[in-house]
Amino acid sequence: MKIVEEIKCYVKQKLAHDFSGHDMAHIERVVGLTQQILPYEPKANCFIVILSAYLHDVIDEKVVADVNQASAELRGYLNSLNVSSDDISMIFDIIDNMSYRKNLASKKILSLEGKIVQDADRLDAIGAIGVARTFYYGGNKHHVMCDLAISPRTVINEVNYKQSSTVINHFYEKLFLLKDMMNTQIAKKLAVPRHQFLVEFVKQFEEEWRGEC
């Protein structure tokens, strides 16, 4: 579909200089994961899912300096492609509300399409790719890799979510929780081996860090 190809090029340009793990490779994996989920959710609007998967990071504060400006630009671009106002509203409802941070205070009510994209994005945050992205992001933000004297935080909110913690603590504070936050049945199934990889990795990492193996 021509619109999808146009969107893909738009996103590739916007994320060309990202080195935080929210690059085009991440986007392509999320799109691929939505395509794995979609056959199990036949009531979902595939067009909305795919566009939202491609666009979910282009207005994210982790990626852009000015969220309002990026949002206005994206709306204008979608209008220029003759995407309907209803479809644009559905897309923005997803990409504005699906992030982990936005759901800390209270869980946002997402459409089925939003739940699918959220699941795909969260699946890409765990497993082997999740490990790599976590250290890549932590290095990009100059976070300490590990300090076993610093305990993982037990209360995370929108205010302190972005405050510096150790990379290893991020597994306890967020990544270990994602398996049980999946929306769709197939995502819950896909999350199990990825979650187990995280658990085994952190156990091995901490043993090596302490010099126990």
Which pLDDT belongs to residue 105? Answer: 84
DSSP code string of 48-86: HHHHHHHHTTTT-TTT-S-HHHHHHHHHHHHHHTT--HH
Using alpha carbons, list the distances in angstroms from residue 17 to 26, 41, 69, 119, 163: 13, 34, 18, 25, 23
What's the token pair of residue 160? Answer: 């302190």
CATH class of 2-209: mainly alpha
Which pLDDT belongs to residue 39? Answer: 98
58-99 tens-digit pLDDT = 998 888 889 999 999 999 999 999 999 999 999 999 999 999
**Residue found by looking up tokens 């100059």 in the block:** 142
Which pLDDT belongs to residue 200? Answer: 98
pTM for the model stands at 0.95
110-161 tens-digit pLDDT = 999 999 999 999 999 999 999 999 999 999 999 999 999 999 998 888 778 8
Which pLDDT belongs to residue 159? Answer: 76
Q: How confident is the model at residue 201 (pLDDT cuts 50, 70, 90)?
A: very high
